[in-house]
């Protein structure tokens, strides 16, 4: 691989990571949610007149729109390239935050954050990972995907304290206006660095192609059309597991500031930032680990670990008062395990169904992320409104995660059994072919 092409590949990775560092504002919703909640409780002129049970609706709808917009965004990325698709995303996010800066209306926030920002996130996010993966061989799929999506998870490290400072100095509406301008500019600038490899490019040439064929069977996976992918049972199993893994994590991420506020007060934003570090780390660690031990085993381990943490969280969040240290540690662990989903499922999509239709195929799988965030996020708020705490939410999430882990382990076991049978059948056919070849001279003499 020439030095210039290698550098170009890494510049695409960095650009994708930079775009995700802006779009990861989604994970700071709990900061905005806290300000809205305080305004509702205080009342008065200019305050938010919302029902507390519906306070999470813009976030839940944003997750849903994010995921479903990735289908048209993926098609757009596959056809016209990542640069313009990312720019569309940045402008939509900017427009959404601009609308939020002018209103306290519930329905305008649903439109601004839920629809415009959610759709913009889908277009921007779908443009960051595919071009980066195309510049590197299969052996680096997990690593590259992990690095790019880590930006999305890491974003709250700077956005949470920045949003807290801006809201103290200028209020929530001013903060929304600042983010409108900043995110539109940042995403548009980084999008100029996104590019697919030139025609005929394959990780540096024929030598790399030969090496990839020997070391990575995934390199030989045929490109599968979305219609054919939707006919496979594997897609629906993975969709269900993604729904559970993502929904459980988003449930906690969307409420972490409120959980931490009881014990941390105004420093609750630190819990959001620390969780973000775990979120980003999980993406990189899972990407690297899955390149070594496989995607299925890595995902199964992370799901089971997440289930254990959900059950451990029950006595912690129900304690009066709760321990700030334990809340932060558990939230960081949950963020870590949640982050693994966003590194593993893009890699799984590429491994199973190829890169040609990656944008649409991953967009279809990503709908599980949006549905998980919408359903479990909404259900969590309803359970909290009914019980006054998150105990039931963590119990339900923990049970679902344990089921998902078992499903992945069973899938892996069945795959191993099928592969063993295929190998045995191939060995039998090879023996028969060898025997036929050995007997052929004798048969020729008889003839």
Q: Is the pLDDT of residue 214 over 60?
A: no
Q: What is the pLDDT of residue 262?
A: 67
User: What is the number of structural domains in the chain?
Assistant: 1
pLDDT at 224 > cutoff 70 = yes
**In this predicted model, what pLDDT tens digit does every residue of 312-365 receive, in sequence order?**
988 887 777 777 778 888 888 988 998 899 889 988 998 889 888 888 898 899
Average pLDDT (252-269) is 69
The rounded distance, in Å, linking the Cα atoms of 90 and 72 is 16
Q: What is the pLDDT of residues 388-436, one digit of tens each?
A: 777 888 888 899 999 999 988 887 777 777 677 777 777 777 777 777 7
pLDDT tens digits along 75-88: 888 788 899 999 99
Answer yes or no: is 445 within a domain: no
Count of beta carbons in the 10 Å neighbourhood of residue 107? 11
What is the structure's pLDDT at 215? 42
Residue 59 to residue 79: CA distance in whole angstroms? 30
The per-residue pLDDT for 138 is 81
Structural domain range at position 192: 3-440
Mean pLDDT of the chain, nearest integer: 84
Residue 211 clears pLDDT 60, i.e. is over it = no
In a domain, residue 339? The reply is: yes
Tokens 């056919």, residue located: 429
Tell me whether residue 65 is in a domain.
yes
- What CATH number is attached to the domain comprising 34? 1.20.1250.20
Top-confidence residue, 425 or 311: 311
The pLDDT of residue 208: 46
Does the pLDDT of residue 6 top 70, yes or no? Answer: no
Q: In the structure, what pLDDT confidence band is assigned to residue 203 with cuts at 50, 70 and 90?
A: low
Segment of 42-51, 106-115, 308-317, 405-414 carrying the highest mean pLDDT: 106-115
Please report the pLDDT score of residue 409 as a whole number.
86
Q: Of 6-20, 206-220, 239-253, where does mean pLDDT reach its minimum?
A: 206-220
Q: How confident is the model at residue 219 (pLDDT cuts 50, 70, 90)?
A: very low
Instruction: Tell me if 209 is assigned to some domain.
Output: yes
Does the pLDDT of residue 3 top 80, yes or no?
no
- Cα separation, 166 vs 182, in Å, equals 13
pLDDT tens-digit map of 363-380: 899 899 888 888 887 788
Q: What is the pLDDT of residue 277?
A: 84
Span 248-257, mean pLDDT?
75
Residue 446 is predicted with a pLDDT of 64
Q: Which two tokens stand for residue 318?
A: 């129900």
- Residue 447 in any domain: the answer is no
Cβ atoms of 341 and 159 closer than 8 Å: no
CA–CA separation, 272 vs 289, rounded Å?
25
Query: How is residue 104 written in tokens?
Result: 């306290």
Measure the CA–CA gap between 348 and 330, rounded to whole angstroms: 27
| 320 within domain boundaries | yes
b/e per residue 389-410 (b: at least 16 CB within 10 A)? ebbbbbebbbebbbebbebbbe
Q: Does the residue 325 lie in any domain?
A: yes
d(CA 134, CA 402): 34
Which tops the pLDDT comparison, 398 or 206? Answer: 398
Position 228 confidence tier, pLDDT thresholds 50, 70, 90: very high
446 belongs to a structural domain = no
Length, in residues, of the chain: 447
Is the Cβ–Cβ distance between 125 and 27 less than 8 Å?
A: no
Give burial (CB, 10 Å; 0-12/13-18/19+) of 119: buried
CA distance 167 to 268: 14
Q: Where are the beta strands (DSSP E) in 376-427?
A: none
């Amino acid at each position: 691989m020439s030095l210039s092409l290698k550098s170009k590949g890494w510049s695409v990775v960095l650009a994708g990571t930079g775009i995700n560092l802006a779009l990861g504002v989604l994970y700071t919703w709990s900061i905005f949610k806290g300000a809205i909640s305080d305004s509702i409780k205080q009342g008065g002129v200019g305050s938010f007149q919302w029902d507390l049970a519906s306070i999470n609706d813009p976030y839940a709808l944003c997750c849903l729109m994010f995921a479903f917009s990735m289908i048209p965004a993926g098609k757009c990325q596959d056809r016209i390239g990542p640069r313009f698709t990312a720019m569309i995303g940045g402008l939509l996010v900017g427009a959404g935050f601009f609308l939020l800066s002018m209103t306290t209306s519930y329905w305008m926030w649903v439109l601004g954050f839920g629809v415009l920002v959610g759709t913009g996130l889908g277009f921007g996010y779908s443009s960051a990972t595919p071009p980066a993966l195309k510049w590197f061989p299969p052996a680096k799929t997990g690593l590259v995907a992990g690095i790019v999506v880590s930006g999305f998870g890491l974003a709250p490290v700077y956005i949470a304290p920045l949003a807290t400072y801006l809201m103290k100095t200028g209020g929530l509406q001013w903060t929304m206006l600042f983010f409108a301008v900043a995110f539109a500019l940042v995403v548009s600038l980084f999008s100029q660095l996104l590019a697919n490899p030139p025609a005929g490019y394959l990780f540096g040439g024929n030598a790399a192609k030969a090496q990839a064929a020997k070391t990575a069977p995934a390199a030989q996976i045929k490109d599968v059309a979305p219609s054919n992918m939707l006919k496979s049972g594997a897609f629906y199993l993975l969709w269900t597991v993604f729904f559970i893994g993502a929904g459980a994590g988003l449930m906690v991420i969307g409420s972490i500031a409120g959980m931490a506020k009881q014990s941390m007060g105004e420093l609750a934003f630190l819990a959001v930032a620390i969780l973000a570090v775990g979120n980003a780390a999980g993406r990189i660690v899972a990407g690297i680990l899955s390149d070594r031990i496989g995607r299925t085993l890595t995902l199964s381990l992370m799901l089971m670990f997440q289930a254990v943490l959900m059950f451990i969280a029950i006595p912690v969040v129900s304690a009066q008062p709760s321990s700030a240290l334990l809340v932060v540690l558990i939230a960081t662990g949950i963020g870590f395990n949640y982050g693994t989903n966003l590194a593993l499922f893009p890699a799984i999509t590429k491994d199973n169904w190829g890169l040609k239709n990656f944008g649409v195929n991953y967009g279809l799988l990503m709908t599980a992320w949006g549905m998980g965030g919408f359903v479990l996020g909404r259900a969590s708020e309803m359970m909290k409104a009914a019980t006054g705490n998150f105990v039931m939410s963590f119990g339900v999430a923990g049970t679902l995660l344990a089921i998902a882990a078992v499903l992945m382990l069973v899938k892996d076991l069945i795959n191993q059994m099928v592969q063993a049978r295929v190998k045995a059948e191939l060995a039998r056919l090879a023996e028969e072919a060898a025997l036929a070849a050995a007997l052929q001279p004798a048969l020729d003499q008889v003839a």
